[in-house]
Amino acid sequence: MDFETIIEPFKIKSVESLPITTPEQRKDYLVREHSNVFGLKSQEVTIDLLTDSGTGSMSSEQWASLMRGDESYAGSKSWQRFEEVVRELTGYKHIIPTHQGRASERILASICVKSGDIIPSNSHFDTTRANFEFAESTPVDLLCKEGLSLLDPSDFKGNVDLEKLEELLKSEDGSKVPFVLMTITNNTGGGQPVSMENLKLVKALCEKYKKMFLLDACRFAENAWFVSQREDKYKGKNVRDIAKEAFRLADGCSISLKKDGFGNIGGLLALNDDQLAEDAKNLLILTEGFPTYGGLAGRDLDALAQGLIEITDENYLQYRTRSIAYLGEKAISYGLPIVQPAGGHALYIDAKTFLPDIPPHQYPGQAIVCELYLLGGIRTAELGTFAFGVAGENGENDTPATHELVRLAAPRRTYTQSHFDYVAEVLEKLVENKDKLKGYEITEQSKFLRHFTAKLKPLA
């Protein structure tokens, strides 16, 4: 359309009321949960930006698919529809449904990874990393140098450093590499895209050194959208065609369909290699289910098939990436440092730059997370030393994480422009309150993934 305003390309058919709370209530809830927003009940949260995973809204066509769901144990029509859509999109020979991304990763790690292996990537997502480490291998992140600099607004900050990748592949350690895994978009690195050129050069290296090339393609549509906007050779090209081309560069993929599958649950593993696919299916039967449903109901497969058709709608992708970029522009105008450019699924606040006086072991990211909740009932996620640091002996001397980030992840097709305006207003207030913010200390924590359950208290 010829107007500047980008509208939500959908209208609303069913609504769910948003809980509106008072500042006093929010304070009580946060005290009750020891300053950990994972403990909050959803009815205590006004705008929930904790994650974009499984939190999106289904379309009326997806709800219709649920009714069409065929619950036959083997060979259901819903499975056939799912397989057909995934094959059209990816072109892979073997398609294996799973209940979510980490189930695919677990199977992949069991069939392809052995003790002592090295798995290079642009950046591994945390569950992917955990599954490869559980298989006693070493996942390594070889992100390009633009990607390492938070405030540099380069176009393709998700690219892998090709020189470092080739150095590894041709070294003695190269023989320990079972495959190269590229994450599109790069969730851990701020939701940044990977260029088609970078993917093609990774493919060429994999061919040269005879390695399998796999994609962690949770956000394949957002990646393809950015390619269509930023990469000269692809400007103006059809987004679905770009996504199809990306899949066809690799030999297989793992996907959490809770992201660009428009699903509330679901995942898949796809492989071209016959032997690996057979091994994967045998394991699937052991833990997920028969290969034509893999841990999902027929109705889920049907809704996911429909979601995978809808996700490459360019009007949707424009609205989605524009809402997040808009929030980013607002944040910058208030002087709030963010990872630039804004990512495909989330805005990331750079807490270290914003709160230089709060050291990593006092969790500056968590100070922002708590303040955003207290100010406006917005739930966000700390991705810094609280989540990824290694706990020290007395909690005082944690090994800090590389970055101190706060992620505002947008659920798909869920919030409208005025919700984003509201979030922007709360961000402005956060900047006004900057000098009042205090660090936190952990009073209780578990050994693994402490941020889900740890108790904290604000420092005096």
Name the residues that contact ligand PLP, by CB under 6 A. 53, 100-102, 125, 127-128, 183, 187, 216, 218, 256, 258-259, 267
Q: Minimal distance in Å, beta carbon 360 to ligand PLP?
A: 24
Closest-approach residue to ligand PLP (CB) = 101
CB nearer to ligand PLP: give 267 or 384. Answer: 267
**Backbone dihedral region for residue 413 (phi beyond 0: left; psi -120 to 50: alpha; all else: beta):** left
Q: Minimal distance in Å, beta carbon 259 to ligand PLP?
A: 6
Q: Minimal distance in Å, beta carbon 184 to ligand PLP?
A: 8
Q: Minimal distance in Å, beta carbon 256 to ligand PLP?
A: 3
Question: What H or E segment, with its residue span, contains residue 252?
Answer: strand 252-256
CB nearer to ligand PLP: give 261 or 376. Answer: 261
Q: Are 375 and 335 in contact (CB under 8 A)?
A: no
What are the tokens at 113?
Answer: 């990874």
Query: Dihedral sign, CA of 433, 439, 442, 443?
Result: negative
CB nearer to ligand PLP: give 288 or 371. Answer: 288
Q: Minimal distance in Å, beta carbon 170 to ligand PLP?
A: 27
Residues 6+ apart with CB under 8 A from 115: 135, 136, 137
CB nearer to ligand PLP: give 158 or 364. Answer: 158
Question: To 10 degrees, the CA torsion angle through 450, 453, 459, 460?
Answer: -170
Query: What residues does 181 pair with on adjacent strands?
Result: 121, 214
CB nearer to ligand PLP: give 127 or 414. Answer: 127
Q: Are 190 and 156 in contact (CB under 8 A)?
A: no
CB nearer to ligand PLP: give 246 or 426. Answer: 246
Residue 114 to residue 287: CA distance in whole angstroms: 20
Q: Minimal distance in Å, beta carbon 128 to ligand PLP?
A: 5
With 0-12 / 13-18 / 19 or more C-beta atoms within 10 angstroms meaning exposed / middle / buried, residue 301 is buried
Angle at 199 between CA 147 and CA 53, to 5 degrees: 65
CB nearer to ligand PLP: give 109 or 427. Answer: 109
Q: Minimal distance in Å, beta carbon 188 to ligand PLP?
A: 7
